[in-house]
Amino acid sequence: MGTVLSPYFFVPLLFMIFFAIIPNMSKGDKIWLAAGIPVFIFIILFMSRTFQWDKSVNGRTFLATEKYSISLKGGHLRSFWRNFYKIKKDSPSEDLFIRVVSPENMIYAMVNFDIKGIDPDRVEKSGAAFSETDKYSDGIKFTIRAGSRKDVIIRIAEKGR
């Protein structure tokens, strides 16, 4: 499910449109506004339906899609969307192993991970070519290249345990 905005979020915006902008607009501008608002609403609805995380995999340690199969040891999946995977590390004292297997005919593929439950300042990664790691309060985000190597095993640990 996507994030649901409160109707009160739009109250200041509507107030500004109806009392500040519309009285000072020309007739042509008002026509463009009347045509544009339904299009804008349609785009927002389309985006909220299309780009949703699949949370039905929550708690699983294995997932096979048409592009990859992902198996985890020391963690579990929270959700995924296309090639973006959200993972929860089970224990700080336990290493997280992520195995990514791609099909033989795949030449180039990027796989994105968002891992929660790890100290971003003490993270230690090995096993693949990693992109720059984005760090936040209780997790990390990174990308690996998985297509040229058909079987990649990534180790995520915390230094100084």
pLDDT tens for 53-99 read 888 899 999 999 888 899 999 999 999 988 899 999 998 889 999 99
Place of tokens 């009160």: 8
User: What's the CATH architecture for 55-158?
Assistant: Sandwich (2.60)
SS3 78: strand
- Closest to 153 in 3D by CA, of 102, 77, 83, 85: 102
SS3 127: coil
- Closest to 58 in 3D by CA, of 44, 72, 43, 47: 72
**Helix or strand run (H / E) with residue 88:** strand 84-89
Residue 160 has pLDDT above 50, yes or no: yes
Cα separation of 78 and 4, whole Å?
20
pTM of the model: 0.69
Residue 141 has pLDDT above 90, yes or no: yes
Average pLDDT over residues 5-13: 72
User: What pLDDT was estimated at residue 77?
Assistant: 95
Long-range CB contacts (within 8 A, 24+) of 36-41: none
Q: Please list the residues that pair with 156 across neighbouring strands.
A: 96, 125
Domain coordinates in residue numbering, the chain: 7-50, 55-158
Cα separation of 7 and 19, whole Å?
19
**Residue 1 confidence class, pLDDT cut points 50, 70, 90:** very low
Out of 12-16, 52-56, 128-132, 151-155, least confident range: 12-16
pLDDT tens readout for residues 102-116: 888 888 888 999 999
143 contact partners, CB below 8 Å, separation of at least 6 = 110, 111, 112, 113, 130, 131
pLDDT tens readout for residues 24-50: 778 888 888 888 888 888 888 888 777
